[in-house]
Amino acid sequence: MMIKLVDISKFYHTGSVTLAALDKVNLEIKNGEMIAIMGPSGSGKSTLMNMIGCLDVPSEGRYLLDEREVSRLKEDDLSEIRNKKIGFIFQSFNLLPKLTALENVELPLIYRGMQTAERRQSSVAALNMVGLSDRMHHKPTELSGGQQQRVAIARALAGNPPVILADEPTGNLDSRSGVEVMEIIRDLNEKGKTVILITHDMEIARQARRIISIQDGCIVKDEEVA
C-alpha cells in the first residue's frame, strides 16, 4: 500500500474570502511506514488526515492510493475504500454507545457484507489482540477510557486494513493508558501496517520513524527520526 499526494490543495470559501486549508501538499508514504503528522490547530493537519482517510476530496491535485486515483471518486466509493483499506482511531474513541464492544468491532465487517460466522471470528480475534476478550459483551460506558480506545483499535483492525489512521489516539487518555495504546499501535506497525499518527504531542510523535510538520497548509518539515 502506497499513499501518494500530488499537489493537493483544499480551499474553503467563506463569503468572498477563499481560505486554503492545504496548499499544494506533496507527500508520499510507503508501505509499512510509521509516520507522525504534527502541527498546531488550524495548520491543516485535520484536513490532511481527512484527505488521506478518504473522508474528504481535494479541491485540486491528485491522490493515488495504491496507484489508484481516488480524489475524484463518489461518496459511496470512498465509503468502500475507507471500509476496506483504512482503519480509523479517533481521539474521542467514537464507539456507538448502544452496541457492545463486540458489536462495535463487527460494524465495519457488517458494512463489508461479511457472513456472520466469519465476522464473529475476526472480531473476537481483534479483541483478543488488544487484550479485551473478557470484555467483549460490555457496552462502552462500562469500560474505562483506555479500554474504549482499545475497542476502537480492535474495530480499526478487524477488517485487516493496510493503513491505520490515528487522530490524537492518546488525547483523551491518562498517561498509563496512553502508553498502553501506543504500545499496541507500535506493535501493529511492526506487524506490517502503515501507521499514520496525527498529534501535537512531541512525545507521541517521537515514537514514529518519520515526522512531518505542517503549518498554514504547507509541509514545513519532513524528517526521519532514529
Partner 1 sequence: MGVWQIIKLAIAGIRANKMRSFLTMLGVIIGVAAVIVLVSIGEGASKSVTDRIEGMGSNLISVTIRGNQSSATLSYDEVQGWKERAGIQGLAPIVNGNVSVKYGSNKYDTGLEGVNEEYQEVRNHKVQAGRFILPMDVSLRQKVVLLGTEVSTELFGNMNPVGETVKINGTNFKVVGLLEEKGSESMGSNDDKVLIPLTTAERLLNSKGIRSVYVQAESPEMVDLVVTQIDNILFRKTNDAESYRVFNQAEMLSTVNEVTGTLTAMLGGIAAISLLVGGIGIMNIMLVSVTERTREIGIRKAIGAKRKDILRQFLIEALVVSSSGGIIGIILGTGGANLLGSIMAMETVVSLKIMALAFGFSLFIGVVFGMYPANKAAKMNPIEALRFE
What minimum distance in Å lies between the beta carbon of 203 and partner 1?
A: 26
Task: For residue 90, state whether it binds partner 1 (rule: CB under 8 A).
Answer: yes
**CA distance to 77, 129, 135, 149, 208, per residue, from 125 (Å):** 28, 6, 13, 16, 26
The stretch among 92-100, 120-128, 139-147, 190-198 that binds partner 1 (CB under 8 A) is 92-100
Identify any residues that bridge with 100 across adjacent strands, giving them in sequence order. Answer: none
Cα(189)–Cα(91) distance, integer angstroms = 19
Name which of 50 and 207 has its Cβ closer to partner 1: 50
Task: For residue 120, state whether it binds partner 1 (rule: CB under 8 A).
Answer: no
Within 27-74, residue ranges assigned H as helices are 45-52
Name which of 12 and 221 has its Cβ closer to partner 1: 12
Cα(26)–Cα(33) distance, integer angstroms = 17
What minimum distance in Å lies between the beta carbon of 136 and partner 1?
A: 17
Cα(5)–Cα(37) distance, integer angstroms = 14
What minimum distance in Å lies between the beta carbon of 48 and partner 1?
A: 12
Task: For residue 19, state whether it binds partner 1 (rule: CB under 8 A).
Answer: no
Task: For residue 117, state whether it binds partner 1 (rule: CB under 8 A).
Answer: no
